[in-house]
Amino acid sequence: MQRLRIRRIEEKSLELCGGGGAQQPSPARIPITIITGFLGSGKTTLVNRILTGDHGHRVLVIENEIGAISIDHHLIDEERSAAASASSAGVVVLKNGCMCCSGETPGSELERVLDKLLEIGMAAGAILPFDYVLIETSGLADPGPLMQVLWRREMATSGFYLDGVVSIVDAAHAMRHLRPAEAEKQVAVSDLVDLSDSPGALEDVSRAVEALNATAPQLRTSHALVGAATLLHLRAYASDSALELRRAAAGGAASHSPYVSCVSLESRAPLRLDALQSWLRALAEDRSDDVYRIKGVLALRGEPRRFIVHGVHAQIHGFAGSEWRDGEPRASSLVVIGHRLEGLRLDESFAACASDGESQAALTDAGECAPCEEEEAAAEGKKRL
């Protein structure tokens, strides 16, 4: 019933889009670029690159992550303070779950935030503190509903317009993700695709991307080393034909793989580095196929700086970030996103990293899961991207 209702609302919104026509940029309107890509593909790295770039824009970032805790804005803050960047106007974190399917109408959360931003800006004075907006989607988002919101007829009279969609494909892992429905859609609706470095797989991934989207130019970069001029002001929908092409790709309800889950872990007690390392090693060695992504900002015992952890499958690394500020609670937050996480005792084993005991809680007491149906579907998916 709910599904039917959402579909009707969506059909209505597409109808509203119907007479919108090509998107005409105007100096009075603020461009929006959507940055999308699968988990760990390099979106935050790209956003940081733009925020610390020398392009003259005051950029506002809208972040949306899956899971109960947000890590990305800390990672952006880390970079901003390291680069003493003046080009960032701030980061807004949307915490009400996935932006592409939250609210009554898919994407309506975004509409509310944009309205609010204009309202706050106007109240503060005639000049808004930002002149460009980046929306970083979660790694499991379907950008289609967001694009549809931004193309609605009502948006034509708003202060914003959608400039383009940039997606990042992590060439090293793109071919192995299970059920890549989200990853495929992200590529299909894009106006520019950035393939991150992985010399071995690059040609295969490039062909798979082209099969999904033949019109988007492909970049090949490492750690998002690309100038803002290449990414911003794409004016991707300035012609009716370009708009129609992307509108067709962006259609359909947001669909999420039911097999991916997110576990949010927190600890108020500082962690022991050796225990944390063993815990991460166990995840990387035993469950690298299932664990798509780990990211966190952690407080270590006897360490005045934050400890940042990034992991994509078996590639997990940690490094020291900025110092904790005086009076700031030194708490650890970590998210693990993946497949078949239910069998892992993540809460218990993570909490044990803060305890003094020699022995660590085992990561799993269930042994290997039996192969399940979704793996067959995944094998099908692997062939496609």
Residues that bind ligand GTP (CB under 6 A): 37, 39-45, 72, 139, 196-197, 222-224, 293, 295, 310, 312
Of 39 and 189, the one with the shorter C-beta distance to ligand GTP is 39
The least CB distance from residue 54 to ligand GTP, in Å, is 20
For ligand GTP, which is the closer residue by CB, 41 or 88? 41
- Give whichever of 158 and 206 is closer to ligand GTP, judged by the CB atom: 206
Closer Cβ to ligand GTP, 61 or 149, answer by number: 61
Number of Cβ within 10 Å of residue 295's Cβ equals: 24
| Shortest reach from residue 184's CB to ligand GTP, in Å | 16
| In the complex, minimum distance from the CB of residue 219 to ligand GTP, in angstroms, rounded to a whole number | 11
Minimum CB distance to ligand GTP, residue 375 (Å): 22
Residue 292 CB, shortest distance to ligand GTP, in Å, is 8
Cβ of residue 316: shortest distance to ligand GTP, in angstroms? 9
80 versus 293: smaller Cβ distance to ligand GTP: 293
> Residue 247 or 313: which CB sits closer to ligand GTP?
313
